[in-house]
Structures are given as C-alpha cells and as structure tokens.
Chains A and B, each alone.
Chain A
Amino acid sequence: MKGYWKYFLNKLLWFLVTLVCAFILNFILPRLMPGDPVAAIVARLAQGMSNATGVQAIYQQYADLFGTNRPIYEQFFLYMSNVVRGNFGYSFSQYPRPVSEVLGASIWWTIALQFPAIIVGWLIGNTLGALAAYVKGGFDKVLLPVSIFVSSLPPFGMAVILMAVFAVNLRWFPTSGGYGFDLLPSATWSFVWSVIVHYQLPFWSIVLIAIGGQAIGMRSMSIYELNADYVKYSRFLGIKDRKIVGYVFRNAMLPQITGLALSIGTMVGGALVAEIIFSYPGLGYTLLNGVMGQDYPLISASTLIVTIMVLIANFVIEILYGFIDPRIKAAQAD
C-alpha cells in the first residue's frame, strides 16, 4: 500500500501543478486575441451616436466596468479572487447577464445530449469492435469498412444527411430546436415527448460517428491482445475461454477507457455541429459566440470547466489504473 500512496501523491502533485498552469493559460490565452471586446459592446450601444464624447464616455464606462483598461496582472488577480468566490463576472457578449447564468442556462442541454451520446457510442462501438476481433469472418469484413466509412464522415456531414433524410424528406423528426416550435417548457408528457423527439437526430448524429471510431480502436486492440503470448499460454494451461476473454478485454479496454475519460471531460465544450445544424440549445454555440465576441469571462469560465473536468477525469483514471493495472503503478512509483 505504501507504493500506492507514493503513486497517488505523485499524481496529486502533478494534478495541482497542471491545474495552476491551466488556470493561468485560461486567463491569458483569450486575452491574447487581437481586437477589443469593449469596442464590440460599444458597437451595439453607439450605433448612430454622432458625438465623439458620448461614444467615448460609453467606452470608458464599460472599460471600467469590465476592468479591461487595467494592467493584465491586476485583471488576473481580480479574476482569481472572483473565481475563488464562484463569481465569473458579467458575460461581455450577453451583458448584463452574469457568466454563471449564461452557462447555467445552456450546460444541462449540452450534458444531456453529450453524456448519453458518448456512453452509448462508446459501449456500442467497443462491443462491436470486440465482436469483430473475436468472431472475425464475415462480421469483421463488413464491420471494419463500415466503421471506417462512418467514422471518417465529418460530423456536419452526418448531421446534414440525417436531417435531409429523416427530417426534411421522411419528416419523421423535426428539423430544429430542443422542443416543439409551438410549445413552452412544462412538466407535461406532451413537452417531454417533444423533447425526446427533438433529441433523436442530434443524438444519433454524434453516436453514429463515435461508434465507428471506437469499434476500429477496440478491434485492433483486441486482435493484438488475442494473439498475445499470455492468451496462448492460458489456452495451453486449459483455462476456460470465458476467463481468457475476460483477461483480453480488460487489457484491450485500457486505452479505450482513457479515451472515454477525455471525451467525458471535454463534453461540456458542446456538440457545436449538432447544435448549429439542428438549432439545438447548448453550450457549444454559446461558447462559439463568446469566442467570436471576445467574451473573456465566458471563454475563461467555459475552458476552466473543461480543464477541470479533463483533469479530474484523468486523475481518476490514473488512480483507477493503479488498481486495474499494477504494471503502471509499479512503473510510475519507481
């Protein structure tokens, strides 16, 4: 257990160092973009305002309010002290909305779309990949090219194809929105049903592509493991196939689990393509607009969430690896 503690503390230290670096980068990188976000706000306010002093006064007012006219280190400490208190400040692009409200309104749509899509895509993909490796034959011959074809479709292509076929031509599903164009959110069956129906195309546009990629990865890993010496040795020893399959997939799963953790970590970044093509509510489009509008607080807050989620996911995976695969712990603890 001592070895494990060493491993754990080592990982925790790196986790903290990465977090600090990521936090600083989250702050600095958006601010390195050329352009002036306050000018964009003034643009909205000052259209047609012809007296220079009036425009200048508005500019000054907002530069003061957002602190963009202060030295960058001062802005950083201000940002840090606010973030520690859970205050991400006002969103520039949706001023006077606070960033927390902007994120809060969209993030659940994104999580509800992305999380099941990632899990389902991962499960189906890995199952099919493992099957292809194990069953071989016709199944593999069909699955591999189909997977390669589907996973190399660009996401927008898949979304547009699904929309054209199932929404525009067959009219089985609606073309846009998170719920019916004529409905208002309520705790009723008609609303829930509408949400389910609107959910299908964005969901499958993500899942179908994920399946292909996962299947290819899992198939290769499984083939490699199935031919490993320990499998042959186990067979010689007369160990039951079921038990061997268990070993094989446990080993083949390792990189796939890392991939899953990363996907879950980055999912709050949003399913931008699905959101845009299906006009689906969510964080991706909000974030894109934030980037376009140089909405520093919104970009920083979103990337901070992504960073922290990726870090936590990785940390948890690394800790779990210590249990799953003693080799890793042993190698790292040296």
Chain B
Amino acid sequence: MNKKFWLIASLLLIASIALSACGTTPEAATPEATKAPEVTQVSEATVAPTLAPGAPLPRNETLYFNGQQWGPVVCWNPYSSSCNNALGIAQQDNARVVMFETPYLYNMLDGQVYPLLADGDYAWNDAHTEITFKIKAAAKWSDGTPVTAEDVAYTWATHVKYSTPTGSANMDYIDAIEAVDPQTVVIKAKLDEDGKAINPLIVASYVSSNYVIQKAWTQTLEERTGGDATELLADTAEDVVYSGPYYKFFADEAKVVFIRDDNYWGKDASMWGKLPVPKYLAHAMFKDNAAGFTALQAGEVDVSQQFNANIQDLWLKDNLPISTYLPDAPYGIGASLPTAFYNLQSPGLDQVAVRKAIAIAVDYDTIIANAMTNQSATFQQVPRSLMNPTPGEQALYDHDAVNDLQWAGKDIEGANKLLDDAGITDSDGDGWREYNGEKLSYVATCPNGWSDWQAAIEVVAAAGKEIGIEITTNYPEWAVYQTVVTKSDAPLPEGYDIFMMWSDGAGPTQPWSRIRHLLSSEFVGMASNWNGNWGQYSNPDVDELIKEIPGETDEARLKEIYTELVKIYLTDIPSFTLMYRPQSFHAVNESVWTNFPHEDDGTEPPVPPLDLTDGWSIAGLYNLTLVAE
C-alpha cells in the first residue's frame, strides 16, 4: 500500500517539476504575443539590414546608459514634454541633442554656447532687442531636406499657436521668431514700456534650450490632429523627422535603443567632421538604483546617471574599471543646490534669529558624508552663496564681502547664544524654547523614498534638539508633497515648516534664474507654483535687483548686484543650502569604451560630464574609443 502511495506522490512531484519547466514556455511566448507590432516595425524599418533577428546588439558598438529612463517611452513628439523619452527628448538648459537638435549647445563648464545647427555665433542688435543667427548650409533633416530658418520660425509659431509648454514658458519674453531668408533667423524680444527687452537672458537661452522641428512634418502633424492642441501634444509621432545623429531603433517596457543615422549631416566638415562613435545607444529600464548599480558593476552599463552611494568603493575596493569625472571627492561638478526652505508663516520662523540658529546648528559635514557619500563639495571648499560650485558662477560675486556672514555649521554654541540674545528662551523649563509663549516645535519634511534628502532632513531635525527647538520629521508621498508645496496662493499647511526642494542647476540663464527661483516674490500667490520661493519670502529690494540683472551688461555692476543678493540671502535666510548636487551624476565603466570626459582630459572646449547626450557633452560621443583588446 505504502508503495502505491509513494508512486502517486512521486508522480505528483514529477508533474509539479515538469510544470515548473513548462512554466517557462508561456513566458517565452509572451513577448512575441505582446510586443509583436514593435518587433515587426523594427524589423521592417531597421533591424533587417543592420542586425539579424535574435542577434545581440554588438557590445563594442553599443553604449549603455542607466539612470535616465525609468519607465517605458510613451511618445517621440518633440512638441510634448510628457513623452517620458528621457534618452531622446529633453528641452532644458542643457538640451538633449541625440535625436533632435538646438541651434546652439550650452557648455556648463565654461558657460559658453557653441553652434550646432547654427552657423557661427549669434548677434544682438545694438538696441539689444533682437538676436540674429544663421543656419548651417550643411544641416539636413533625416529625410534629406535642408534645415532652414523657416523651420525655426515655424517651430516657434507652432509652440505659440498650440500653447505648448515651450510656448507658454517663453511667450512673455519672445515676441516673434522670423526667417529673414532661408538661412537667417531673427528672434525678436518682447519689449517693456521703455522699449527694452523684458528679459534678454531668456531670449538668448531659447537658442540652446529648444529644438528646431521640421516645418513639413509639423504641418503633417497639424493635419493629422485637426488643429487640436491636446491631440497635437498627445500624438506619439512615430513618423517624426529629426536632424540629430540617432533615431529610434527599438522601444518596449524593458528597454529603449537608438541607432546612429549614418547619413547624419553633422559628419560634414562644418560641424563634427565625423559620425559619433557608438552605433547604438541603449538604456534598460531598471526599477531602482540598486538594480542599475548592479548592472554598472557587471559591465552592462557604460555611462551611469544615477546616484551610486560610495561610488569610490567600485575602484578602490572592487578594482573595477569604473571612474567619475573627478578622481576624488566630490567626484563630480556640483551644479544645483538642494535647499531647505522655511515656511516663513510658521510661528517663530518669521524670526531671523530662529531661522539662522537652525541653519548654523545643522551638521553639514554629516549630511555630505552620509546623504551624499561625499559626492558634494563641502561648505569649507565652496562657501554658501546663491551660486553653484562651477568656477564661472563662483567668480560672479565678491567672496570677501560676505565672509563674515558665512557659517560652517554644527555651531551649537553660536546658535544657542543667538536665540538667548533674541530673548527666545526656555521659560517653562520643559527643555524647549518658546517664542511669544508658544513652544518652538516644527515638522521638517521631504518626499518619502528620496533617501538622500531624507538623510539630510534627519540631520536638520537633530540640530533642532541641540538648540532647544523641537523638530520632528515627516515624509509624505511625492504625489501629496508636490501638491502641497507648489500651492503658493495660500499659507502652507501644518507639517510643512521646514521642507526640501531643489534649485536650478547650470544653464545659460544662471545664476539669475536660480536666484529668482529662490528669492523672487513674483511666485507668491501662484496657485500652481513650479518655480520656487515656496517658503513665500518677499523683499522688494531683492525683487528690484533680480529684475535688473537680465538687462545689465556691465560686469562690475552685475558683480555688485550678485554680491548684494548673496548678502541679503545670508542675512535673511529664507532658505538654506544643504549640499551641492551635480547636474547629472556621471560614472563610467571603462571595460568596453574609454576616453570618456574626465577633468583635464585635454578636450577644448572641455566636455562636461553630462551623459554625452546633453548640450556640449555630446561632443564626448565623438571622442570615445574602444578599450584595446
């Protein structure tokens, strides 16, 4: 009897194991079933001539990225900014010029712009109200037709007509973009009542931040979408015509791959004189930093644009051929200033003494060592101001003039004295100070899961305890957090006394734009404030100075203004910088490719560490070489 039972049991076991083996079969069939259209499309369009079905992307022709694309690509429409097409579309200060191109390329290392579609430098007219530039004769669209001034003009007209994000962002500053002749473009600034350009900085930044899109294709798109703005922005634009060196090869839920257009116009001697080196650019969708980090270690990623904690261990301990732009801490070039904002309407936080006491008590070295694993310059290296650590911005203000306003942090004694002197003391003996009879008790917050920010906020809270100010922490989900923080038409609710947000990075309108976003009162009262000054600081003197900068061309005066603004910022402390953060994290694995941008790599102009896709950093794609076998 027992034997029979064993027989049945064994059969059951065998059946279950067999099923487990079968388990793979439906899986294998899955991609065919679901991804069929894409596969067909790819094989029809491009795979057949270049890559046999089932053959891997040749490793020595493919550059792999991580940290940019966090979900499937939704569309290829350069008019839309919600395509989640991180590798292909990003119209920003350092615009991503892999598939679509801007007239100029911004270089965050020297603050200059370099012509791409444009021929030579742009020129302002004498009244400083119009910019003129020419389009390169060699510049061509992927369909072989020339890129013309008319394309630039029509792109702008479309942005305005359909109120695209680009149109809405610039139409207060740009009056018109016109084609004088097929090669010449004129950008006319909007003028104020004195006949001066309202904001020449924003007008000038247009040429390096926004793509030129083909007029003929735009007209096709308009026809297809019947002139409806929502439809136009929601179009997936699979048929888009582009001018850049790469285009869509493959995209699904797990991966996006671009392939080089070997007819790319940029191989003309008037631009690069050759094609970019990698034939394919590929990005797998990793679901978190840990997965991306493992892939970088395994050599499945060449260029990593994500925060990799203790990055130095990869070469110091694991002996991997991985490196960063700088060989030692802070490993990259800081460009933005993650900032703790005070809700200036919270009881007590309207007092400079309280704000300053908290700010000087915070242990910044711990934040930089723990939250950023030293991937940030310290405040001893780069004293706090409104500028990022790039040499260009640091030179813009007088360091000595604000020296006595600086603080190093962890100054518990100084903070206590400051509060005592202001009469903000612990009068009821409960261990916490009171102001106007009310206990100083705050909530410090940032979005949940943003681990480096959370670590920083914990350090801020710890500082409060040392100086008799109760600071507790709370981490709402980002969906909730952002809704609350960006609603600047009402006082912030409870729980948002000290909160973290970002500040601008490096770009052609910086540091003006960053300062404006940190301090300008024009954002107070906005129902949907995606700009800044979320703590709702208001100072008419600051507003005046901010307004003066864009039209000011006298460098001495500019330095004066910037110094004055830093002085006010360090005195009033409506917010304070917690660390410096690079524009893009940038670590490279040199097991396949080498000659990536590094400090002092001899490139002229220097190639910035921005993924080899953004602004002038795309020049790095032309310098890559294969590691010798």
Contacts and interface: CB of A to CB of B under 8 A. Distances in A.
B163 A183 contact: no
Given A52-B526, A54-B168, A115-B26, A127 B64 contact: no
A256 to B, nearest CB: 13
A39 B482 contact: yes
A327 B74 CA distance: 54
A292 B478 contact: yes
A196 B31 CA distance: 12
B171 A123 contact: no
B35 A185 contact: yes
Interface string A55-89: 11111010001000000000000000000000000
Interface stretch (B49-57, B270-278, B368-376): B49-57
Nearest to B47: A184
Interface string A96-119: 110000001110110111011101
B294 A45 contact: no
B84 A105 contact: no
Contacts of B13: 124, 127
B615 to A, nearest CB: 15
B185 interface: no
B284 interface: yes
A116 to B, nearest CB: 3
Given A55-B530, A179-B254, A281-B254, A95 B82 contact: yes
A227 interface: no
A56 B529 CA distance: 9
B1 A241 contact: yes
Given A96-B74, A176-B284, A184-B51, A123 B294 contact: no
Contact of B291 (A33, A44, A131, A277): A277
A51 B172 contact: yes
B309 interface: no
Chain A interface size, as a band, is 35 or more
A279 B23 contact: no
A155 interface: no
A105 B30 contact: no
Interface string B319-330: 000000000000
A187 interface: yes
A96 B237 CA distance: 12
A266 B288 CA distance: 24
A138 interface: no
A181 B31 contact: no
Interface string B30-56: 111111001100110001000101111
B71 interface: yes
The residue in A106, A168, A187, A294 that gathers the most chain B C-beta atoms within 10 A of its C-beta is A187
B72 A195 contact: no
B42 to A, nearest CB: 7
Contacts of B39: 184-187
A105 to B, nearest CB: 5
B24 interface: yes
Nearest to A175: B294
Contact of B56 (A112, A180, A294): A180
B482 A43 contact: yes
B535 to A, nearest CB: 17
Given A116-B19, A185-B32, A285 B287 contact: yes
A292 B16 CA distance: 37
Given A56-B528, A94-B74, A183-B56, A40 B482 contact: yes
Given A179-B31, A182-B57, A292 B477 contact: yes
B180 interface: no
The residue in A39, A50, A51 that gathers the most chain B C-beta atoms within 10 A of its C-beta is A50
A35 B165 CA distance: 23
A322 interface: no
Nearest to B10: A127
Nearest to B11: A127
Interface in B7-25: 8-9, 12-13, 15-17, 19-20, 22-24
Interface stretch (B228-236, B334-342, B352-360, B602-610): B228-236
B27 A196 contact: yes
A36 B478 CA distance: 11
A49 interface: yes
Given A176-B286, A279-B286, A281-B253, A127 B12 contact: yes
A177 B254 contact: yes
A191 interface: yes
Given A35-B483, A54-B169, A181 B84 contact: no
B81 interface: yes
A65 B234 CA distance: 11
A128 to B, nearest CB: 8
A157 to B, nearest CB: 14
Interface residues of B, number: 97
Contacts of B531: 48-50
Contacts of A113: 27
A18 interface: no
A46 B5 contact: no
A124 B16 contact: yes
B269 interface: no
A118 to B, nearest CB: 10
A233 interface: no
Specify the main secondary structure of chain A where it touches its partner: helix
Contacts of A51: 168-169, 171-172
Contacts of A289: 71
A109 B285 CA distance: 15
A124 B19 CA distance: 10
Contacts of A277: 290-291
A47 B295 contact: no
A42 B527 CA distance: 12
A65 B32 CA distance: 34
Contacts of A196: 24, 27-28
Interface in A150-188: 168, 175-188
B479 interface: yes
A285 B74 CA distance: 16
Nearest to B55: A190
A120 B16 contact: yes
A2 interface: no
Contacts of A186: 39, 43, 53-54
B59 interface: yes
A177 B38 CA distance: 18
Interface string B252-269: 111101000000000000
A103 B253 CA distance: 11
Contacts of A45: 81-82, 165
B72 A105 contact: yes
A108 B254 contact: no
B9 A96 contact: no
B388 interface: no
Contact of B31 (A50, A117, A185): A185
Contacts of B234: 90, 95-96
A225 interface: no
A188 B285 CA distance: 22
Contacts of B51: 184
Contacts of B8: 245
Contacts of A111: 26, 30
A27 interface: no
**What are the 3 closest A-B residue pairs judged by CB atoms, nearest first?**
A188-B54, A116-B23, A54-B168
10 contacts: A39-B482, A46-B530, A50-B169, A54-B163, A96-B80, A127-B13, A184-B57, A241-B5, A279-B286, A292-B479
Interface of A: 33-37, 39-59, 61, 65, 90, 94-97, 104-106, 108-109, 111-113, 115-117, 119-120, 123-124, 127, 130-131, 134, 168, 175-192, 195-196, 199, 203, 207, 240-242, 245, 275-279, 281, 285, 289, 292-294
Given A58-B165, A96-B236, A242-B5, 8 more contacts: A95-B234, A109-B30, A116-B24, A185-B252, A186-B39, A190-B55, A245-B5, A279-B285
